[in-house]
């Protein structure tokens, strides 16, 4: 989904409709027990608790939006032209559309986001702008376009795969590729707080100065990627189980929310391979900060 700003053909027609203007009037209840989801609830329950909390929050919001001032939603069909869908959308329908898009992104990009009023309004605005470029496209088609552009989105799963696939190229300079992943002090301190950040700075400086080189074994020709964010790991989401157990020790030290990847080089069709963790997108580039818990030993 292209969410860039600027005037495009048809945007004025769509953005001037009552449906679009209603976006600015969309008021959702505030408070940690609805849209913010209490911190305790997010941390304790992992992804299933989060899903249950989202459903509960949605029920609360729909109930509060059902007064005479707000039109009742009739639902929507994501296969219909997005222009028709968005023009006719009530505030309740907008909530359903935003929830559908959030679920789509979480399922395809492994990018679960906090469900709150700010994110919902931003998401809806991006959907309207993307639809304005071609109102005949369905919401499904818009999201498929978003998937195709994923490799151009910094920090996305597709972006990580594109970068890591360089290691699988025959004749790849593995030493140079690995060296490009060395984090700076600023990169480390953006993700981890003190005193761990200083310890990691020294640990990684020694690791990379020793000429560390990563890459696949001769017979490995495929890639497996698990992508989430450091914030999701800190919240205890289910994806934490996909990372080495040592991450549980560094969760209290995480201060930033950045894309993080665990990946494997493997033989196509197999599940076991050469695993690495700590590929993080920070300050505009991918860096490799593996096994951070070792700095606590």
Tens digits of per-residue pLDDT, 3-19? 333 333 334 444 444 44
Domain range for 44: 11-148
User: What pLDDT score was predicted for residue 225?
Assistant: 95
Q: What is the pLDDT confidence band of residue 113, given thresholds at 50, 70 and 90? A: low
Q: Report phi then psi at 270, rounded to 5.
A: -105, 160
- Position 255 in a domain: yes
Other beta carbons less than 10 A from residue 97's beta carbon: 24
Tens digits of per-residue pLDDT, 191-244? 999 999 999 999 999 999 877 899 999 999 999 999 999 999 999 999 999 999
Q: What angle do CA 247, 106, 265 make, to 5 degrees?
A: 55
- Position 2 in a domain: no
Task: Indicate if 184 and 287 belong to the same structural domain.
Answer: yes
> For the residues 28-51, what does the mean pLDDT come to?
35
Of 148, 182, 208, the one marking the end of a domain is 148
Q: Please choose, from the candidates 98, 100, 101, 139, the residue with its C-alpha nearest in 3D space to the C-alpha of residue 121.
A: 98
- Position 64 in a domain: yes
Other beta carbons less than 10 A from residue 126's beta carbon: 19
**Residue whose entry in the numeric block shows the structure tokens 């369905």:** 138
Number of domains present in the structure of the chain: 2
Task: Indicate if 176 and 284 belong to the same structural domain.
Answer: yes
- Position 232 in a domain: yes
128 alpha-carbon distance from chain centroid? 20
Is omega for the bond preceding 195 within 30 degrees of 0, making it cis? yes
Task: Indicate if 30 and 80 belong to the same structural domain.
Answer: yes
Task: Indicate if 47 and 81 belong to the same structural domain.
Answer: yes
> For the residues 180-189, what does the mean pLDDT come to?
96
User: What pLDDT score was predicted for residue 217?
Assistant: 95
Check residues 112 and 169 and name the one with the higher pLDDT. 169
Task: Indicate if 197 and 251 belong to the same structural domain.
Answer: yes
> For the residues 132-145, what does the mean pLDDT come to?
85
Are the C-beta atoms of 111 and 19 separated by less than 8 Å? no
- Position 5 in a domain: no
Of 98, 126, 148, the one marking the end of a domain is 148
- Position 1 in a domain: no
* CA torsion through residues 186, 178, 262, 152, sign: positive
Q: What is the pLDDT confidence band of residue 73, given thresholds at 50, 70 and 90? A: low
Tens digits of per-residue pLDDT, 143-179? 877 655 544 567 888 889 999 999 999 899 999 999 9
**Residue whose entry in the numeric block shows the structure tokens 């818990």:** 293
Q: What percent of the chain shows pLDDT beyond 70? A: 67
How far is it, in rounded angstroms, from Cα 170 to Cα 178?
A: 16
Q: What is the pLDDT confidence band of residue 96, given thresholds at 50, 70 and 90? A: confident
Q: What is the DSSP letter of 153?
A: S
Q: What is the DSSP letter of 200?
A: H
Task: Indicate if 99 and 42 belong to the same structural domain.
Answer: yes
Contacts of 12 (CB under 8 A, 6+ apart): none
Of 109, 128, 148, the one marking the end of a domain is 148
User: What pLDDT score was predicted for residue 297?
Assistant: 86
Task: Indicate if 26 and 46 belong to the same structural domain.
Answer: yes
- Position 143 in a domain: yes
Task: Indicate if 71 and 183 belong to the same structural domain.
Answer: no
Q: What percent of the chain shows pLDDT beyond 90? A: 43
**Residue whose entry in the numeric block shows the structure tokens 């309207």:** 128
- Position 271 in a domain: yes
Task: Indicate if 165 and 281 belong to the same structural domain.
Answer: yes
Task: Indicate if 227 and 262 belong to the same structural domain.
Answer: yes
Q: What is the pLDDT confidence band of residue 119, given thresholds at 50, 70 and 90? A: low
Task: Indicate if 144 and 174 belong to the same structural domain.
Answer: no
User: What pLDDT score was predicted for residue 179?
Assistant: 95
Bridge partners (DSSP) of residue 288 are 279
Task: Indicate if 18 and 118 belong to the same structural domain.
Answer: yes
User: What pLDDT score was predicted for residue 27?
Assistant: 41
Check residues 106 and 12 and name the one with the higher pLDDT. 106
Q: For the ranges 96-110, 130-144, 258-272, which has the lowest average pLDDT? A: 96-110
């Amino acid at each position: 989904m292209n969410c860039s700003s600027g005037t495009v053909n048809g945007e004025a027609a769509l953005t001037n409709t009552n449906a679009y203007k209603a976006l600015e009037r969309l008021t959702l209840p505030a408070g940690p027990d609805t849209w913010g989801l209490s911190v305790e609830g997010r941390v304790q329950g992992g992804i299933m608790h989060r899903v249950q909390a989202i459903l509960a929050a949605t029920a609360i919001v729909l109930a509060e939006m059902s007064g005479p001032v707000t039109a009742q939603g009739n639902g929507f069909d994501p296969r219909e032209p997005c222009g028709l869908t968005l023009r006719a959308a009530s505030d309740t329908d907008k909530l359903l559309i935003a929830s559908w898009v959030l679920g789509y992104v979480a399922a395809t990009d492994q990018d679960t986001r906090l469900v709150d009023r700010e994110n919902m309004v931003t998401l809806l605005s991006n959907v309207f702008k993307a639809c304005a470029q071609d109102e005949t496209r369905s919401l499904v088609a818009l999201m498929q376009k978003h998937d195709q552009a994923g490799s151009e989105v910094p920090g996305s799963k597709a972006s990580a795969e594109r970068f890591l696939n360089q290691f699988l190229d025959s004749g790849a300079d593995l030493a140079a590729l690995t060296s490009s992943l060395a984090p700076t002090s600023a990169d480390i301190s953006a993700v981890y707080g003190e005193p761990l950040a200083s310890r990691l700075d020294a640990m990684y400086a020694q690791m990379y100065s020793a000429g560390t080189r990563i890459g696949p074994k001769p017979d490995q020709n495929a890639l497996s990627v698990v992508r989430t964010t450091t914030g999701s790991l800190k919240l205890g989401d289910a994806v934490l189980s996909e990372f080495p157990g040592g991450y549980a020790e560094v969760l209290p030290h995480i201060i930033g929310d950045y894309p993080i990847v665990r990946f494997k080089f493997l033989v196509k069709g197999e599940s076991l391979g050469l695993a690495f963790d700590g590929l993080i997108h920070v300050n505009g580039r991918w860096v490799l900060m593996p096994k951070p818990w070792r700095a606590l030993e």
